[in-house]
Structure 1
Amino acid sequence: MSELTPLVVNVIGVFTLALVARFLVRNRDRLAFASVLVSLGVLVSALGLSFDLELTSDLILTVFLPTIIFQGTTTLDARRLWRNAGLITVLTVLGLPLAIVLLGAVGTVAFGFPLLVALLFAGVILPTDPAAVLSIFEELDVSERLAITIEGESLLNDGVAVVIFSTLLAAFGSTGSVAALATPRGLAALAGDVAVVGGGGLLLGAAVGYAAHAVMRRLEDEMSILLLTVIVAYGGFLLAEHYLGLSGILAVVGAGLLMGAHEETHHKMSTSEYHVQELWTTAGFLVTTVLYVLIGAEVQLGAFVRHADLVVAAAVLVVLARAATIYPLVSATNVLGDRPVPLYCQHVMVWGGLHTVVPVALVLSLPTQFPFREELQVMVFGVAVVSIVAQGLLMPAVLSRLGMGDAA
């Protein structure tokens, strides 16, 4: 028997479970596919079974995430994204750091963690998941402006959160405290890191994507276009992340936006480009399918029960921290802008913040000697499952209550 045979068997097992999930959600508008996938993964764990597929930080960040982000950004309507860029930027640049500080401060009391550990947990858990948000919103036919705002915020805050996480982790390795970061010089250095690492990655990706778009318009066969898109998505990520010290996630965001942002690629897409886009959609579906099943299957129910108080407290506080930033910041932008976001949409923005893929990847990357590592991993996996299952399954009811989506 080949050494690859067990791997193939386990992958087929994951896809078989996904097929069961498709049957379960068929003709059931109030069941989100992503929520059912994670639930089935938890069931696998509860039965003491395993897929023998190790979920690692490198696998998520280097292999899975570029596919998810590139596929999502190339299908975005860049003009609509640009019209909402002000709100998205405010929520990312101001909202995310503010939420991290709030949850970190409260976490010292609620979780009993030292401030640095509580802040690091906040930095890990608060990035929202574009794949989960998209999959649920597409099924429920949410208004396009709301969907593109939440998706745009999710795509950007993932990259910013990774920079903040790296800074906090470096502070732990050097001093073991956040004292240096709490000074004006420390805050300026953190802001500089976000601007250089995050903004630099976004600009690099945009340059790569724009150049690739120009090349793509001269290609006719779909295999060449497919190869070009793979090189842009993964090459841009690796160039930024591993060679230039910039944000690989934001590089993929920039590349995807500029490669697919022009009017002709959305409204006059060639047959070859259309087929390649369909291939990326399929790849994104397969990747998220594997991810959600494995996240559920990785939940250790014994540890989950032991730390149930921490998981429940974390799940509640994450939603409250998001609410504490969404409502005031969106209200402030409503005063300054000419296209206010209604209050009922703000409710959906709070409830639609799902925390799965990037938080799981970040917590898995913590060094083994990091204090409270077991508790942090249990809390992150717990919040991931609670957010995508509970919030995802309740999303139709929330939208129906607010008179939105096809659930209304």
Structure 2
Amino acid sequence: MPISDIVLTIAALLIVIACTQPIARRSGLPFTVVLGGVGVLIALGANWLLHTTLTDRFNEAAALVIDIPVSSATFLDVLLPILLFQGAITIDVRRLAQDIVPVIFLAVLGVVVALGLIGGAVSLVSSAPIVVCLLFGAIVATTDPSAVIALFRDLGAPARLTRLVEGESLLNDATAIAAFSAFLALTISGGTYEQGYILKQLSFSFIGGTLTGLVFGRIAILLLSWLRSFKAAQVTIIVALPFVVYSLANSYIHTSGVVAVVTSGLVLSAMARSRVEPETFKFFQATLDQLAWWAGGLVFVLAALVVPGLLSDFVLSDLLITLVAVAAALIARAVILFGVFPLLAAAKITQRVNNPTKTVIIWGGLRGAVTLALALAVTENHLVDAETQRFIAIQATGFALFTLLIQGTTLTALMRWLKLDQLSPLERAFRTQVLTQSLSTVRTGLSSFANRFELDNQLVDIAIKPYSNRLSRVAEDKSFEEGISDKERLTLGLIALANQEKTLLFEQRLSSVLPHRLVDQYLLAVENMIDATRENGRLGYLNAARKPHKQNINFHVLSWCHSHLGLNRPLASHLGKRFQFLMINRIMVMELITFLDLKLGVLLGERPIEILHEILNQRLDEVERHLAALRLQYPKFARTLDHSVLERFAYQEEVDQIESLRESGIISDDLARSLSNEANSIHVISRPKTTVDIRATTAELLTSFPVFADLQVEELTQIANQLTPRILADDAFVFRKGDRADGLYFIASGAVEIRIGDELHRLGHGDFFGEMALLDEAQRSADVKSISYSHLLLLEVDTFHELGRSHPNWRNKLDEIAEKRKAMNEASR
């Protein structure tokens, strides 16, 4: 068939697909089901036109449809990769991680149980060998990702239900296709493979595909970072990636291309947003959505075109086998959902899934293009005998048609009957408040618009009346006040704030200031806040918000290396990143306070808003306290960081102004391009260094210590150059009783605990300790450890004595303080 004819036919089919969407909406049927029906009708119509004796006028057009080269490779190598990739990249990876156990059980164990039950049941009612029956079981165990994802999104299924089904459908194919390959090999060889062959194939496919996807996903991330300023190049990487990964995994690495594509998509879903501009990421999603829509439509139409051919030898007795296979498939999914899942939930491995949700998941396991593609792969294989080809073609096609035409058309009614299409009581009550605000805003805006353009008042009143009536009816609904407690409103508000914080990070373009890894950490911290709020409300939100500020095991290790091995650079890098994180965190919290007043005030009520203000102010105070300590210690780094934020903001404002003028038609595209290039050349768009100079101590810092209050700036500068920093984690010992005196310690930030016998003393910012052993030339008489992240300044013993000789007044003041401390210690014994 000439290339021009193929292009013409595909283009014509795309037009048909486009015209089918409004028909599906009007009919109330799922789009995928209507597409399948349209494809079958096109195929039947083309066959009739080609063979009818009534007219020959449409023979050429009918031949184009009949002769279009549709093979298993068309579905698996051309259309499937982009569908899998788009499905994976749009999944919220962090949300999916919460349900990873049920997803894997559905995808892996579910396939194994399904092919076993289907193969066993079919072997009882057919004359086909057991290996062929198991091959058929593997083929129909594949839930079609494009069918399932499109259908559940079209039906507006609950978020968790959609997430479970999306994740399962994406990973399900990998297991089923690996099993299909193994059973096809067994069918061809007559079952002479060694024991454990199937398990080895499945394991290698999954592990190899996962590793392949991870590697190429990370490579794509590096390329996106390198091409950050080249939007078209970045989009090209995104579009090419699934085809490269699928082909390499399948044809050269000989592992699962499906798993590789899904894994690479999940990697990009988790990491790409912090590597590209917000507008570019939205463009990524829009591009992939459009490509997936085309591919999804073609999948169903092309699959439907081959249905009449696959069913050409159908006889009534085949229907019994198909119905038995369908029943076995439903039972297999029920075994997993109603048998295995309760055990996992009881063991707290996964969250509970309610029975209505389980029922819809069972009935929603649609088959489509992937099933038909695998069936075509069998019929195209000349090593498979004719009877097996006929059996697989008829049964796989019949199974797929049943799921699409029976299950697909009744799924909406089932969800409605199980009340899964309804809002929760909390959401219904909150809907009232949202409507009140939106209708009031629309009414005010409509009136303002009419006044602005001096429209007829009578017409304005007519236009406003429906909104006023709706507003009156909504105002009578007291479900918000009666149905939502202040505690529930507070939880809603905290989740809304956390979601807005995630959005603001990209809207403010602050993600371009932070290193990529810090952006990922920030997003993860916000996700943890959402999860903690759902579980423990206000307390969970605050604990999760504080967690990034606490020092983790990584800091403890770096601090120990700094103190004991003299390795400064790793700790300096860690502190620099902490500084950047806190600075962005402060900006975000301040923006949230504004958002709270503008957007949430009317929705939540007075008392919850007051509490939310208290929570945000508490967060802001904590962040500013941490920042103040770091700014005091590293003022030069703080100024550099502040400048980078301002410089980035100025650059983006300039670019936005140029784009606004271009969109308004005030300047031409050529002038806009010239101005943008000039802006790029003037503004150095680079991420600031992430390493602080922990060895630098300023005279300004020393003025905060009372013991240095009487010294001049020149003297303070001289002393500052002699001090050695010591960064300590929580509960880290500065020294122990009996240690040799190494110097005098000043607390720049943090706090320490001094234990003398049974007595405990605490010192904080501006205090010093360790002077007694120096003055008495004795060993340490107490244990001292940090009780929080602490920045200490060490004046070593030799420098201490030199300084005492050159600054006698300072030494005398130190002696006075030491004598008072000795007297206090003696009195406490």
Give the TM-score taking structure 2 as reference length.
0.46
Residue 210 of structure 2 corresponds to 202
Q: CA RMSD in A?
A: 2.3
CA distance in 2 between counterparts of 1:265 and 1:40 reads 42
Contact 2:147 2:366 in 1 (8 A): yes
Larger RCO: 1 or 2 (CA < 8 Å, sep 6+): 1
Partner of 1:379: 395
1:295 pairs with 2:319:
no
Deviation string for 1:280-311 (max 9, x for gaps)? 11010001111101222211254345533333
Task: Report the counterpart of residue 329 of structure 1 in structure 2.
Answer: 340
* Cα distance between partner residues in 2 of 1:302 and 1:96: 29
Between 1:328-337 and 1:135-144, the stretch displaced more is 328-337
**Equivalent position of 2:245 in the other structure:** 236
- The match for 2:133 among 87, 101, 118 is 118
Cα pair 1:222 1:275 within 8 Å, conserved? no
**Alignment-derived partner of residue 42 in structure 1:** 40
Matched with 1:392 is 408
Task: Quote how far apart the aligned CAs of 1:263 are.
Answer: 8.1
- Matched with 2:191 is 177
Instruction: Quote the residue 1:31 is aligned against.
Output: 29
* SS of equivalent to 2:91: coil
Determine if contact 1:348/1:398 at 8 Å carries over to the other structure.
Answer: yes
Question: Does the CA-based 8 Å contact 1:226-1:276 persist in structure 2?
Answer: yes
Q: Which amino acid aligns with 1:291?
A: V
SS of structure 2 residue aligned to 1:303: coil
Spell out, residue by residue over 1:150-209, the C-alpha distance to the aligned partner (whole angstroms, 9 max, x if none).
1111111211111111111222233x137x66xxxx23x432321222211112101211
Q: What SS class does the counterpart of residue 298 from structure 1 fall into?
A: helix
**Alignment deviations for residues 344-383 of structure 1 (CA, whole Å, 9 cap, x no partner):** 1110110110111221121111123334211211211221
Instruction: Answer yes or no: is 1:166 the counterpart of 2:181.
Output: yes
Alpha carbons 2:30, 2:151 under 8 Å: kept: yes
Tell whether 2:426 aligns with 1:401. no
Structure 1 residues 162, 302: closer, same or farther in 2, change over 3 A? closer
User: Quick one: distance in 2 between partners of 1:166 and 1:357?
Assistant: 17
Cα 1:120/1:18, change in 2 over 3 Å? same
Structure 1, gaps ≥5 residues long: none
Q: How far off its partner does 1:269 sit? A: 5.5
Deviation per CA, 1:296-343: give whole Å up to 9, x if none.
221125434553333343333333333233321222222222520111
- 1:103 deviates by 1.2
Quickly say closer, same or farther: Cα 1:163–1:171, change in 2 above 3 A: same
CA 1:291/1:304 → structure 2, altered by over 3 Å: closer, same or farther? farther
In 2, Cα distance between equivalents of 1:362 and 1:350: 22
**Cα distance 1:98–1:139, how it changes in 2: closer, same or farther (>3 A)?**
same
TM-fit CA distance, 1:100: 1.1
Where does 1:63-78 land on structure 2 (aligned, <5 Å)? 63-78=78-93
Work out the CA distance in 1 between the residues paired with 2:266 and 2:95.
12
Moved more, 55-64 or 226-235: 226-235
Contact preservation (8 Å) 2:366, 2:407: yes
Pick closer, same or farther for the CA change 1:269–1:343 going to 2, 3 Å: farther
Bigger proportion of residues as strand: 2
Of residues 239, 242, 255, the one that matches 2:264 is 255
Amino acid at match of 2:225: R
Further displaced range: 250-259 or 14-23: 14-23
Where do residues 104-115 of structure 1 align in structure 2 (5 Å cutoff)? Answer: 104-115=119-130
Q: Secondary structure at the match of 2:2?
A: coil
Query: How far apart are the structure 2 equivalents of 1:282 and 1:304?
Result: 37
Assess if the C-alpha contact under 8 Å between 2:326 and 2:399 holds in 1. yes
TM-score (norm 1): 0.91
**Residue 86 of structure 1 aligns with which residue?**
101
Q: Which residue of 1 aligns with 2:21?
A: 22
What does 1:331-350 align with in structure 2 at a 5 Å threshold? 331-337=342-348, 339-350=351-362
**1:71-128: CA deviations, max 9, x gaps?**
1111110001111111111222322112211111111112332111100000111111
Cα distance change of structure 1 residues 43 and 308 upon mapping to structure 2, 3 Å threshold:
farther
CA contact (8 A) 2:138 2:180 kept: yes
CA contact (8 A) 2:114 2:328 kept: no
C-alpha contact 1:396 1:407 (8 A) present in aligned 2: no
Cα drift, residue 48 of structure 1: 4.2
1:297-316 aligned within 5 A: 297-300=305-308, 302-304=312-314, 307-316=318-327
C-alpha contact (below 8 Å) 2:121/2:324 kept by paired residues: no
Separation in 2, partners of 1:90, 1:383: 23
One-letter amino acid of the counterpart of residue 346, structure 1: K
Structure 1 residue 130 corresponds to structure 2 residue 145: yes
Cα distance, 1:232 vs structure 2: 1.9
Q: What CA distance in whole angstroms lies between the structure 1 residues aligned with 2:304 and 2:280?
A: 37
Amino acid at match of 1:213: I
User: Using the alignment, how far apart are the partners of 2:277 and 2:362 within structure 1?
Assistant: 35
What is the CA–CA distance in structure 1 between the aligned matches of 2:314 and 2:205, rounded to whole Å?
35
Over the matched positions of the two proteins, sequence identity in percent amounts to 26
Q: Check 1:106–1:222 CA distance in 2 against 1; reply closer, same or farther (3 A cut).
A: same
Letter in 2 for 1:383: F
Preserved CA contact (<8 Å) 2:239 2:288: no
> Contact 2:120–2:134 at 8 Å: present in 1 too?
yes
Task: Indicate if the aligned counterparts of 2:273 and 2:281 stay in contact, CA closer than 8 A.
Answer: no
Task: Give the one of 226, 229, 253 matched to 2:235.
Answer: 226
Q: Is 1:192 matched up with 2:200? A: yes
Q: Which runs of 4+ in 1 moved over 6 A?
A: none
CA distance in structure 2 between the aligned counterparts of 1:352 and 1:88, rounded to whole angstroms = 15
Q: Please, which moves more after superposition, 301-310 or 72-81?
A: 301-310
Counterpart CA distance in 1 for 2:423 and 2:143 is 23
How many angstroms apart in 1 are the aligned matches of 2:359 and 2:202?
28
| Contact 2:174-2:258 at 8 Å conserved across structures | yes
Deviates more, 1:353-362 or 1:212-221: 212-221
- Determine the C-alpha separation between the residues in 1 that align with 2:69 and 2:164: 33
Query: Shift of residue 406 of structure 1?
Result: 5.9
Matches within 5 A, 1:135-154: 135-154=150-169
- SS of equivalent to 1:350: helix
